[in-house]
């Protein structure tokens, strides 16, 4: 009985760690895509800004 509880505790801990890692990775991916998108926008607007000044 104790072995089973220990196994489930370990499994839960692993699940939580995986969940945290997945969350961090998805946040990082969102940041990267957001930065590349904003970079694309900046490069798209650069000629307009240079022409205006």
Residue bearing tokens 């499994």: 11
Question: In sequence order, which residues have a C-beta less than 8 Å from that of residue 16 and are 6 or more positions away?
Answer: none
Between 18 and 39, whose confidence is greater?
18
The answer on pLDDT for 44 being more than 70 is yes
Residue 42 has pLDDT above 80, yes or no: no
List, for residues 9-27, the tens digit of each pLDDT value: 888 999 999 999 999 999 9
Rounded Cα distance, 47 and 45, in Å:
6
**7 or 27: which carries more pLDDT confidence?**
27
Mean pLDDT for the chain overall: 83
41 within some domain: yes
* 52 is a domain residue: no
pTM of the model: 0.51
What per-residue confidence (pLDDT) applies to 17?
92
Instruction: Give domain status of residue 38, yes or no.
Output: yes
> Could you tell me the residue range of the domain that residue 31 belongs to?
1-47
Angle at 28 (CA atoms; ends 33, 41), nearest 5 degrees: 20
């Amino acid at each position: 009985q104790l072995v089973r509880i220990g196994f489930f505790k370990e499994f839960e801990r692993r699940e939580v760690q995986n969940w945290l890692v997945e969350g961090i990775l998805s946040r990082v991916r969102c940041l990267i895509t957001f930065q590349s998108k904003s970079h694309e926008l900046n490069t798209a607007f650069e000629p307009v800004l240079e022409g205006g000044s």
